[in-house]
Each structure stands twice: as structure tokens, then as C-alpha cells.
Structure 1
Amino acid sequence: MQLMSSEASSSTTSDLQSEYDNEIKEFHFHLYWFQNNAASQASAVKLRDRILELAKQGFFQVVPLKNGVNTSPRGPHPIGSYEVWCAREDFARCYSWFILNRGPHSVLIHPLTRDEVADHSSRAAWLGTPVPLDYSNLRPHLDHVPSQYPELGLGYNAPAPNN
């Protein structure tokens, strides 16, 4: 058995810290519906109300609807949609909930990093049928990670892990 030298150990610690620093810590879930279809919109609103209720009850700590309900195209989203922000601390529970409860709706799941284009395309995942997005207003390089809801102390605003 070979023991690690102190040089290798400090290199490994440095590498590990770099991995922690580069880890994705916040996500968006975008739920879509056909804004000109009353049944589709009603179903989406019912899901939104359930998300708000579950968050209030402490089932998960997500923040829905910062920008409200989009009843027309907004940003890259070409149809009715709303976003639910989720820190990595609640990602598994949020993802699981959407898998089981999204109904007929498509859901885009993407990370929040400094590359909005990649986040909404090559780094994104879909539940249901993908919706074509318009990337023309997204930026491929932000000056900072788009941390949201710092007051929660989650995601990019969570305390650093103890190494």
C-alpha cells in the first residue's frame, strides 16, 4: 500500500476545492402550457398552486414564480410558462415531484451557470416533449454566476463545505 505524500495530499485538496467551486448549485424548472388553451393553462395554474402550498408546508424549499406566470412568450420560452427555482439542496425532491406530477406539461430543467445558452440547450434536460426555445436573447458568458435568493442561504449562497 502506497501512502500519499503531503505534496500529493495538498494537490488533491486543492483539486477537490476546485471541484466544489465549479459545482452547479442552482437550477430552474420551467413548466410549459399552451397559453391559448384554457384547460392547459388551468392545469398549469393548479400545479403552480400545489407547488406554492408544498413550499409553504416545508416539503421542499423552492421559489416559484419570481417573474410571475408568463401567459405569452418571454425570453427563450415561446409559449406559456413559469419558472421554479431550486437549490441543489432540494434538487432531488423537486425533480422527483415534477416527474410524478407534471401531468401533460413539458418541463425544462437547467442549471444556473455563467453560460445561459449552454444552460438552456446542451446542459438542459426535459420531462415530456421538448419545446423549441429562442436562444437569441441569452448570453454565452455572464460576468458572475446568476445566484438567486441569497437570503435563503442555499445554492451558491450556502456555507462552504468543510473539507
Structure 2
Amino acid sequence: MQDNPVTEPPTVAEYHAHVYFDDTSRAAAAWLREELERRFAVRLGRWREQPVGPHSKPMYQVAFTPSLLGQVLPFLMLNRHGLDILIHPESGLGHAGDHTVRAAWLGDRLPLDIAFLERFDAGDLPG
């Protein structure tokens, strides 16, 4: 481990939580979205009714500043109502790594299209 460089948390620009849902869990996802918006200064992404980008299931994104991580993460842990949620930093070190090795899952780990993220990181996809 001593050969690995340390990445300091201040390099994180923001965090993203991807809240995944399906027809049976959409109501829980809507409730969680409303509560997040009411309680925290988060930016909510659009409802994605179909898989998009690297995501294998419908979802919406919640973006928040590093200063909110200590509040948003426990709230999601305690109130996810069975939803699967990916939480990752925007570290500037690459989207593929941010969505995998630097990520945390609440619930089940869903498949991601890592090749899509690698193409994005390589500049082969529009940003």
C-alpha cells in the first residue's frame, strides 16, 4: 500500500448518488427524491425512465457538495426503503474509477457499463 499515492478528499468537487428504481419501487424513489430536495441543498437530475450511459436500470442522480456528505449519506442509509443507490465522488481522477473503486453501494451492486465510462474518460464520447 505504501506505493499507492494518497488521494486527498479535498480534491473531490462533488458527490453523486444514483437512485435506481423500477415500476414497483418508483413510489419509494419519488418519496426519497422529495425528502432529499426538502432537507438538503442538492441538485436533482432528471428521471431517467430507461437505462442511460453506464447505468443498467432507470435512475435519477442527486448531486451534492462534499460538505453535505456527512448528512446525505446517513439519510440515504436510513431511508432508502430497499432502493439500490450508487454513491461516488467526482474526483477528477476518471469516471470509470469514480463509479467503481472509489464508489460505495447501498443495497445491491448493479452492473455498470465500465467500457462506456472508459470511452468517456478517453474523450471518445461527448461530455
Q: How does 1:12-27 map to 2 (within 5 A)?
A: 23-27=11-15
Q: Which residue of 1 aligns with 2:42?
A: 62
User: Counterparts of 1:19 and 1:124 in 2: how far apart (Å)?
Assistant: 15
Matched, 1:49 2:34: yes
Aligned-residue CA RMSD in angstroms? 2.2
Q: TM-score, normalised by structure 2?
A: 0.80
Give the alignment partner of residue 28 of structure 1, picking from 9, 16, 35. 16
Matched, 1:94 2:72: yes
User: Counterparts of 1:29 and 1:129 in 2: how far apart (Å)?
Assistant: 14
Q: Which residue of 1 aligns with 2:4?
A: none
Give the secondary-structure state (helix, strand or coil) at the position aligned to 2:102.
Answer: coil
User: Contact 1:30–1:107 (CA<8 Å) still a contact in 2?
Assistant: yes
Q: What one-letter code is carried by the residue in structure 1 that aligns with 2:11?
A: E
Matched, 1:140 2:121: yes
Aligned residues: 115
Give the secondary-structure state (helix, strand or coil) at the position aligned to 2:121.
Answer: coil
Shift of 1:19: 5.1
Q: Which has the higher helix share?
A: 1
User: Counterparts of 2:54 and 2:29 in 1: how far apart (Å)?
Assistant: 19
Q: TM-score, normalised by structure 1?
A: 0.64
Matched, 1:75 2:60: no
Give the secondary-structure state (helix, strand or coil) at the position aligned to 1:29.
Answer: strand
| Off by >2 Å, runs of 4+ in structure 1 | 139-142
Shift of 1:64: 1.4
Q: Which has the higher contact order (CA 8 A, sep 6+)?
A: 2
User: Contact 1:118–1:140 (CA<8 Å) still a contact in 2?
Assistant: no
User: Counterparts of 2:38 and 2:41 in 1: how far apart (Å)?
Assistant: 11
User: Contact 1:116–1:141 (CA<8 Å) still a contact in 2?
Assistant: no
Identity of aligned residues (%): 32
User: Counterparts of 1:87 and 1:42 in 2: how far apart (Å)?
Assistant: 26
Relative to 1, partners in 2 of residues 1:111 and 1:46: Cα closer, same or farther, differing over 3 Å?
A: same
**Structure 2 unaligned spans of 5+:** 1-6
**Mean CA deviation greater in 44-53 or 81-90:** 44-53
Q: What one-letter code is carried by the residue in structure 1 that aligns with 2:91?
A: T
